Structure 1
Amino acid sequence: MRVAIVHYWLVSMRGGEKVVEALCDLYPEADIFTLVCDHEKISDKIRQHRITSSFLQKIPGARRHYQSLLPLMPFALESLDLSQYDLVLSSESGPAKGITPSPQATHICYCHSPMRYLWDHYHFYRAGSGVLTRLLLPWIAPALRVWDVTTSARVDAFVANSRHVADRIEKYYRRTATVLNPPVSVDDFAPVAATEDFYLTAGQLVGYKRVDLAVRAFTRMGRNLVVIGEGQEMAALKRMAGPTVTFLGRAPFPVLKEKLARCRALVFPGTEDFGIVPVEAMASGRPVIAHASGGIMDSVVADHTGILFDDQSEDGLIAAVERFERMETTFRPDLIRAHAQEFSEANFKRRMQAIIDHELDRRRQQHVLRPAPQPAHAGRARGGRAPAAAARQLRNDP
């Protein structure tokens, strides 16, 4: 069985690329297809596979400014030749499922998210774009949405990384998805004996993550907050921050690991498709204070591994922190870490393989049970023999 793994772009190592690594473990001989690839920024595990990039790779600056090439992505994906593959595993967040597989191939799409900038985050992305993008997006987005919905029919089975994403797949594509949370390297994290007097928020500093709520709330409360990450919101966040808020920028992994283990709690005020960092915090034995929305509802157990709050506002977050501090001693690091083990890489690979095997079996059964086509003059000849054409058909039908 020839296997192809399709990923939207390979220019960093984040949650989506961790899924690709897990698929590489399941299928070590698989070939990888992508829109653009920066070989220096991907892992050795991925680099060991044969990687085919689209024609976008040849455009100067594509590896850095690939998102600006959105109008060309459908053409680039459909130019990739996957006609010789029996199993296609697409990893979708930007466009990836839009490849054209063989009719006999089984295409399973692991969906991190339908393209946010075309659907539920469209107005947010447009508002934060440059002048040219803001002018062009209303003209090109409708056609891209049509293409996105149409290509969902090329997928035999969808797998969503959270119930939140499964709901969006149902809404936009009218397809049902199996929920399988993404793999997290939980064994890379561990609790420590003593914590310190600070809260932590970590991730890209972009508007929809609502780090501004955390900065304003902790400035107002006078509590210590450490912010790890970088992004377009950095300057604005620093302007609104008081003396109790510390920015570490893009911290190396040992620093992130240490801060996750020693913080009083991780603060997660935005809405994410899933959210890897909260699971990493729980693997470190630390509780999570999070807005009750998105993928966090799959990972945090209210009042056992963290605090969930409904009011996504400064006051709502302050009330959640105060509630956490009243019950802080009830959170047990060993139980929190045990819960995080459910999201291990081993569990992901075991369940993903079961999903793939089930879909392959379903497709085989569908093929075997389909009635064999009959010639126009089908019937029995004298002596009870089938006509020669029908006999050949029966011999050749698998």
Structure 2
Amino acid sequence: MTHDREKSIFERLKFALVHEWLTPEATGGSELVVKKILQHIDAQLYALIDFESSNPQSYLYQRSIGTTFLQKLPLARFGVQKYLPLLPLAIEQVDLRGYDVILSSSHAVAKGILSSPHQAHICYCHTPMRYAWDLTFDYLKGSRAGRGLPGILTRFLLHYLRGWDVASANRVDYFIANSKHTARRIWRCYRRKAEVIYPPVQIDRFKFQEKKDDFYLVVSRLVSYKQVGTIVDAFNQSGKSLVAIGTGPELEQIRALARPNIQVLGAQSDRVVEEYMSRAKAFVYAACEDFGMALVEAQACGTPVIAYGVGGARETVRDIREYPEEGTGLLFETQTATAIVEAVKNFEESCDRLNPNVIRSQAARFAPTIFEKRYLAFVERCCQEFWSGKLDQNHRLEF
């Protein structure tokens, strides 16, 4: 594609951006990626379902967003995942023939959009479909649908989804991964290479505080793979003060498990979360995350992190034992209460050597401006490589 001094490719080409679902409850890292992309690329937005364009509190309020037939199904507003067998079919019904470039933000099926040979498809992959791959056995074990005859049908469905997931990966021209860990998973599942571009973390939203209070903190959805129960068990054993923030199907179970040294606060506002993060002695996390945005948010407050040392945590947290001058926390090797108790003990022996300013500097590596620069440059480079030709006077692609 030839360079145009008057117009960039972002002005000359028509872009579509596809995400899985847009609801007020979906406010994680993948949604932040969508928001940042839309701030810099004029793209028409599509999703399986959309309940944000009707939400006055959303930046997407009154925006035109394309959806699928799932939008009209009962209870879709409260979780389209209940229609899991229909998700591949639904995403394939979205007609994007009128666009030059398809951008997808995918953690399930968004990358499976149908495209034509003259369209470039660039996928920002937050994770290959977790319940079809890494979390298959957790999903089966923790669900009534995993037992008896329903269990057989569920296993068949997941088998089908894995096949579709691999096949649909061939519809993507360029993959971006949100971490090196995710890039390895993309290679494992799809045998495709991916460019690593870390997601944007709103580090300026979090208050930096050098002086910390004497309590530990976990902020997480209360679902089985997050291992919050394991953290609570560890602090039951140690007797140290822990604050747990978050909600989910395990909330009552966690409350029943917690002893008096543990406060289970349930769901809290962003303001409350930010306040606790800035004051905590350390942020504790026991899940294997593809990136782990909360780990970076804690460090933005100058708060050290004690985390399970697998996945994205190895890229965002610097273990004080490995980086004596630049440490930002401590990693433990197994998802057990015993390992967490030992990690907290080791942390307390070395926490005086942790510098809150160094911890904050580590978080700055994941600032939104860095994401924006790298993402836009990669998209431009992919477009130039994809066509390696020119646009005619009507801005149609020529080969």
Is the pair's TM-score, using the shorter chain for normalization, greater than 0.5? yes
Residues 96-147 of structure 1 deviation map (CA, whole Å, 9 limit, x = unaligned): 0111122111100001111111111111112222348534211222222111
Contact 2:210-2:356 at 8 Å conserved across structures: no
Query: 2:347 matched to 1:324?
Result: yes
Aligned with 1:243: secondary structure?
A: coil
More moved, 161-170 vs 140-149: 140-149
Does 1:160 pair with 2:193?
no
Amino acid at match of 1:121: L
| 1:247 maps to 2:234 | no
Mapped partners of 1:31, 1:261: distance in 2: 38
One-letter identity of the residue aligned with 1:294: G
1:229 paired to 2:242: no
- Is structure 2 residue 36 aligned with structure 1 residue 2? no
**SS where residue 247 of structure 1 aligns?**
strand
Q: 2:381 is paired with a residue of what secondary structure?
A: helix
Three-state SS of the structure 2 residue aligned to 1:137 is helix
* Structure-1 separation of matches of 2:43 and 2:150: 37
Amino acid at match of 1:17: E
Structure 2 match to 1:269:
286
Cα deviations across residues 337-356 of structure 1 (Å, max 9, x unaligned)? 11101111111111101111
After superposition, the C-alpha distances for 1:36-74 in whole angstroms (9 at most, x for unaligned) are 111255864334542001011011211213101111111
SS for the counterpart of 1:8 is: strand
Uncovered stretches (5+) of structure 1, i.e. residues with no partner: 369-395
- The structure-2 alpha-carbon separation of the partners of 1:212 and 1:328, relative to structure 1 and needing over 3 Å to count, comes to same
Which residue of structure 2 aligns with residue 290 of structure 1? 307
Q: CA deviation at 1:232?
A: 1.2
Q: Residues 55 and 61 of structure 2 are in contact (CA less than 8 Å); yes or no, is this contact kept in structure 1?
A: no
The equivalent residue for 1:189 is 206
Structure 2 vs 1, CA of residues 397 and 193 (structure 1 numbering), >3 Å: closer, same or farther? Answer: closer
Kindly report which structure 2 residues correspond to 1:86-97, keeping only aligned pairs within 5 A, or say none. 86-97=100-111
- Does structure 2 retain, via aligned residues, the 8 Å contact 1:169–1:175? yes
Q: Secondary structure at the match of 1:327?
A: helix
Tell me how far apart the structure 1 counterparts of residues 152 and 105 of structure 2 sit (CA, whole Å). 30
Q: 1:9 corresponds to which letter in structure 2? A: W
Runs of 5+ in structure 2 lacking a partner?
1-12, 321-326, 391-396
Which residue number in structure 2 is paired with residue 34 of structure 1? 47
AA aligned to 1:308 is L
Q: Distance in 1 between matches of 2:398 and 2:244?
A: 63
**Percent same amino acid among aligned pairs?**
39
What TM-score do you get using the length of structure 2 for normalisation?
0.89
Identify which of structures 1 and 2 has the higher relative contact order when contacts are C-alpha pairs closer than 8 Å and 6+ apart. Answer: 2
> One-letter code of the match for 2:288?
T
Shift in CA distance, 235/133, structure 1 to aligned 2, threshold 3 Å: farther
Give the RMSD, CA atoms, in angstroms.
Answer: 1.7
The normalised TM-score by structure 1 is 0.89
